[in-house]
Amino acid sequence: MPSRFVLNPVSYHGYGALAGVKDVVEDKRLKKIVIFVDRFLKENKISDKVVKYLDQVEGLEYTYFTDIKPNPSIKNVLDGLKVLKDFEADGIVAIGGGSVMDCAAGAAIINTNPEFEDVRSLEGVAPTKNPSTPIIAIPTTAGTAAEVTINYVITDEENQKKMVCVDPHSIPVAAIVDPEMMESMPYGLTASTGMDALTHAIEGYITKDANDLSDMFHIKAIELIAKYLPKACENDKEAREKLALAQYVAGMGFSNVGLGLVHSMAHPLGALYDTPHGVANAILLPTVMEYNAGATGEKYREIARAMGVKGVDEMSEDKYRKAAVKAVKDLSISVKIPEDLKDIVKEEDIEFLAQSAMDDACRPGNPKDPTKEEIIELYKKLI
Ligand SMILES: NC(=O)c1ccc[n+]([C@@H]2O[C@H](COP(=O)([O-])OP(=O)(O)OC[C@H]3O[C@@H](n4cnc5c(N)ncnc54)[C@H](O)[C@@H]3O)[C@@H](O)[C@H]2O)c1
Ligand SMILES: [Fe+2]
C-alpha cells in the first residue's frame, strides 16, 4: 500500500526559534494578520514574546482574536472567522495550545472554503477545495502537535460531541516550536499535555495504518518523552526543549497514520465534562493498552525498550507486553496523573460515552476493533 505524508513546509525548533516568525511573515509577504491567542496567554503577556518580532516587520498590521476556550466550540470558530473577514486578514499567527491552534485551523479553512460555514460538515475527511488562510502555529503546550497535524478538533456543544476534522488543507504553513513559550506551564499542565504526546506516539505506533516511516517518528518520540517528561514538569530547560521536539515528532507520525481507542474514549470526556484532553488520555492509556495488547505483534517490546525497560529481548511475549503497560503507568503516576476516572465519569453517562467513542473518527484506527460493550467495560474498569 502506498502511503502519503503531509508535513509543514518549514518548522523551527529549540530555544531562539521564535525569531523565525519574522522570516516567515516576510517570506509569505503577509500584510494583515489576526493573532489567535486565548485570553490567559495574552493577559499574562506570553504572546508578547512573539509580538515583539511581529513589530519588527515593516508595514505589518495585526489584530487579536482571544475568545477561545479549552476544547474550542463551533461558536469560537465562527467568531474567529468573523474577525478574519472583518479585518480582511491574509494570515494568522496562532499562539496557544491545541485549543487555539485548532480554532484557528477551523476558522482559516472556512475563510477560504465558505461552503463549510455550518462547521459541522467539516467533521471527518472534509473535501475542501482550497488551502486555508496561511497559519503560522506557535505552540505554548508540549502535547497536541496541532502545529504539524492535518487534524483539528472542534466541540459541538449542542450535540455534546468533539468533531475530529481531517484535512491536509488545514496544515499550518509554518510551525515555530520554541520551549520558551512553554516555560510558564504549571506542573500539572506539562504532565497532562506531555502524556497526550505519549498517547499520540503509542497509538500512532500501533495503529492499523502504521508503517516504517511513521514508526521511526513514534519510537523516537516515546524514547524522548519517557526520558524528559518528569524533568520538563520541574521546568528543567533542556528537558523542556527535548519534550517540545518530541511532541512535534509524534505529530509528524500520527497525523499521517491515525490514532486509536484512547483518543476515541477521551474525546467524549472532553465534550461532556470539559475534561482536559491530556488528562483524559493519560488516565485511559494503560487500560486501553492492556486491551489492545493481543493485536500488536512485537510492538510492545519496542515500546518497552523505548520507555527505558531493560532486558526486553529476553522477555516472553506476555512479559514484555506487561512491562510496556507498566512503564507507561509508572511514568503517568510519577508525574501525578490521577489513576482513574472516578472523579470525572458518572455511571449513567457511560452508555452515551461508549456510543460517542464508537462513532469517533479515531476509533477505526485502533489495532483491535472494539464492540460498544467492550468500550462500556473499559470505562467501567476505571470508575
Ligand atoms: N490537532 C490535533 O491533532 C490535536 C491533537 C490532540 C489534541 N487536540 C485538541 O487540542 C485541545 C487541547 O489542547 P492542549 O492540551 O494544548 O490545551 P489547551 O490549548 O486546551 O490549553 C489548556 C489550558 O492551558 C493554558 N495554557 C496553554 N499554554 C500555557 C502556558 N504556556 N502557560 C500556562 N498556561 C497555558 C490555556 O490558557 C488553557 O487554559 C483539545 O481540544 C484537543 O482535542 C488536537
Ligand atoms: Fe491528543
Quick one: pLDDT at residue 16? 98
CA of 30 to the centre of ligand 2 (A): 30
| Ligand with minimal distance to 193 CA | 1
* pLDDT > 70 in the chain, percent: 100
**Residue 194 and residue 321: Cα distance in Å, rounded?**
22
CA angle 37–42–48, rounded 5-degree value: 100
Residue 1 has what pLDDT?
A: 77
CA of 311 to the centre of ligand 1 (A): 36
The span from the CA of 47 to the CA of 204, in Å, is 31
In whole angstroms, give the CA distance from residue 80 to residue 104. Answer: 7
> What secondary structure does DSSP assign to 228-263, as a single string?
HHHHHHTT-HHHHHHHHHHHHHHHHHHHHH---HHH
Write the residue with the smallest CA distance to atom 21 of ligand 1: 97
The residue-averaged pLDDT of 156-178 equals 96
Q: Which residues line ligand 1 (CB under 6 A)?
A: 38, 40-41, 46, 70-71, 96-100, 102, 140-141, 143-144, 146, 149, 151-153, 181-182, 184-185, 189, 193, 196, 270, 277-278
Residues, beta carbon < 5 Å, ion ligand 2: 196
200 CA to middle of ligand 1, Å?
14
Residue 135 has what pLDDT?
A: 98
Amino acid of residue 124: G
Task: Write the DSSP symbol of residue 365.
Answer: G
Identify which of 144, 155, 247 to mutate to test ligand 1's pocket (most ligand atoms within 8 A of the CB).
Answer: 144
Pick the CATH number of 10-182 from 3.40.50.1970, 1.20.1530.20, 3.20.20.70, 3.90.550.10: 3.40.50.1970
Q: Give pLDDT, residue 248.
A: 98
Q: What is the pTM of this model?
A: 0.97
**Quick one: how far is CA 13 from the chain centroid?**
17
Number of the ligand 1 atom closest to the C-alpha atom of 278: 15
Partners of 166 in beta bridges: 125, 151
Name the band, by pLDDT with cuts 50, 70 and 90, for residue 371.
Answer: very high
Query: What distance in angstroms lies between residue 127's CA and the mean position of ligand 2's atoms?
Result: 23
Encode pLDDT of 292-312 as tens digits: 999 999 999 999 999 999 999
Q: What is the CA radius of gyration of the chain?
A: 20
Confidence of residue 321 (pLDDT cuts 50, 70, 90): very high
Residue with cell 500512532: 204
Return all residues near 82 (Cβ < 8 A) that are at least 6 apart: none
Homologous superfamily of 187-381: Dehydroquinate synthase-like - alpha domain (1.20.1090.10)
Q: Which residues lie below 8 Å from residue 346, measured CB to CB, with a gap of 6+?
A: none
Chain centroid to CA 16: 23
Nearest to 161 by CA among 125, 202, 119, 128: 119
pLDDT band at 263 (very low <50, low <70, confident <90, very high): very high
CA of 374 relative to ligand 1 center, distance in Å: 29
Question: CA 200: distance to chain centroid?
Answer: 8
Q: Which residue of 40, 202, 255 sits with most ligand 1 atoms within 8 Å of its CB, as the best mutation to test the pocket? A: 40
**Residues 123-143: tens digit of each pLDDT:** 999 999 999 999 999 999 999
What confidence score (pLDDT) does residue 357 get?
A: 98
- In this structure, what is the dihedral angle of CA atoms 239, 242, 244, 245, given to the nearest 10 degrees? 180
Average pLDDT over residues 316-329: 98
- Span 40-97, pLDDT tens digits: 999 999 999 999 999 999 999 999 999 999 999 999 999 999 999 999 999 999 999 9
Give per-residue pLDDT as tens, 203-248: 999 999 999 999 999 999 999 999 999 999 999 999 999 999 999 9
Give the SS3 label for residue 158.
coil
What are the structural domain ranges in the chain? Answer: 10-182, 187-381
User: What whole-number distance in Å separates Cα of residue 11 and Cα of residue 16?
Assistant: 13
Specify the residue with its C-alpha closest to ligand 1, atom 32: 185
> Which ligand ends up closest to the CA of 181?
1
- Residue 165 near residue 152 (C-beta atoms within 8 A): yes
pLDDT of residue 194: 98
Report the chain's terminal Cα–Cα distance, integer Å: 41
Separation of CA 164 and ligand 1 centre (Å)? 15
Per-residue model confidence (pLDDT) at position 113: 98
- Name the residue among 184, 172, 94 with its Cα closest to residue 139: 94
Chain centroid to Cα 331, Å, comes to 19
Between the CA of 99 and the centroid of ligand 1 the distance, in Å, is 5
Tell me, in angstroms, the distance from the centre of ligand 1 to residue 294's CA. Answer: 32
Share in percent of the chain as helix, strand, coil (round to 5):
55, 10, 30
Closest-approaching ligand to the CA atom of 143: 1
Atom of ligand 1 nearest to the CA of 263: 6
Ligand 1 atom 28 nearest Cα: 140
Q: How many CB atoms lie within 10 A of CB 39?
A: 12
